[in-house]
Structure 1
Amino acid sequence: MAASIRFYGLLGLDFPDTAEGHIETTLPNGIHIMLDAEEVVRSFRPDWQRVTGNQLALAFECDSPAAVDELYAQVVAAGFAVEKPPWDAVWGQRYVQLRDPNGVPVDLYARL
């Protein structure tokens, strides 16, 4: 949980600095995000099994192409996984593909 708090904190999500097994934050647009540790999920679903493969992916829009590069540098410096370094995509965005501490694909992008 602590690694997820650090990773998503770099991306601007303001989770409480605790590793109690359940954390929540609300984004400025009202979207509410909650993360649960496996032991919390197993407390109400004892038969829960970790899924294989990617069941979801997240993408975060950045203010500028330079902001994509800056966040990429921070993620690398913090030791988190990079799927593909920044590039200028043919669809007109500066793009980078990362992995969060649980292996979830996370993209950062900004219009060129």
Structure 2
Amino acid sequence: MRLDMVGLKVKNMARSLMFYQALGFDILAGGPDEPYAELKNDGVRISLNLLDMLTEVYQVSLADVQEPIGTVIPKVELAFIMDEVKSVDKKCQELKEQGYEIYREPWDAFWGQRYAIIKDPDGNLLSIFANLDGKI
């Protein structure tokens, strides 16, 4: 068994696709007017799933769906490696200029990475990083 896909719940597909394209992903399947989209990624697939579609899949009503309350530490973290240390700062600056929120500005983490935490339109916290030693 191996992990094949990570799916994210989204409220507005068009807005989410704009963010993930700004982050650097191309759309592999789906689109802004569809309930499902998949991002082009080497390795584990990343899907965006409209909340309305997920209520059908899990057979629940929108009233049954609760947002996490009182916590900013995510249950699951997505972390994306970048080729160069300077790419982390550059990507954060690009996202900020496009109006996206940088949850934690880039810093040199004690574990040997240039690290930043960004927030997608649905409040998911995503990490982007590069190894300080330049290795991938």
Normalising by structure 1, what TM-score?
0.85
For 2:129, what is the secondary structure of its paired residue? Answer: strand
Which letter does structure 2 place at the counterpart of 1:103? G
Identity percentage of aligned residues: 30
Paired residues for 1:91-110 under 5 Å: 91-110=111-130
Find the aligned partners of 1:21 and 1:108 in 2 and give their Cα distance. 26
Decide which moves more: 49-58 or 4-13. Answer: 49-58
Q: 5 Å matches for 1:46-85?
A: 46-47=60-61, 48-52=64-68, 53=71, 54-85=74-105
> Could you list the per-position Cα deviations for residues 66-106 of structure 1 after superposition, in whole angstroms to 9, with x for gaps in the alignment?
11011101110111111111111122211111111111110
Q: Which residue of 2 aligns with 1:34?
A: 47
Match of 2:18 in 1: 6
Matched residues in 2 for 1:97 and 1:49: separation? Answer: 26
TM-fit CA distance, 1:26: 4.1
Any conservation in 2 of the 1:94–1:111 contact (CA below 8 Å)? Answer: yes
- Counterpart CA distance in 2 for 1:79 and 1:26 is 23
Q: Which amino acid letter does the alignment assign opposite residue 128 of structure 2?
A: L
Q: Which amino acid aligns with 1:50?
A: Q
Counterpart selection for 2:39 from 19, 25, 28: 25
Aligned counterpart, 2:3: none
- Describe the SS at the equivalent of 1:82: strand
- Please give the TM-score of this superposition, normalised by the length of structure 2: 0.72
In the alignment of these two chains, the number of paired residues is 111
Q: Gaps (5+ residues) in structure 2?
A: 1-12
Tell me, which stretches of 5 or more residues in structure 1 are unaligned?
none
Q: Deviations over 1:15-71 (max 9, x none)?
A: 254231211134222x22211111111233233413415332211001111110111
Structure 1, 98-107 or 5-14: larger mean CA deviation: 5-14
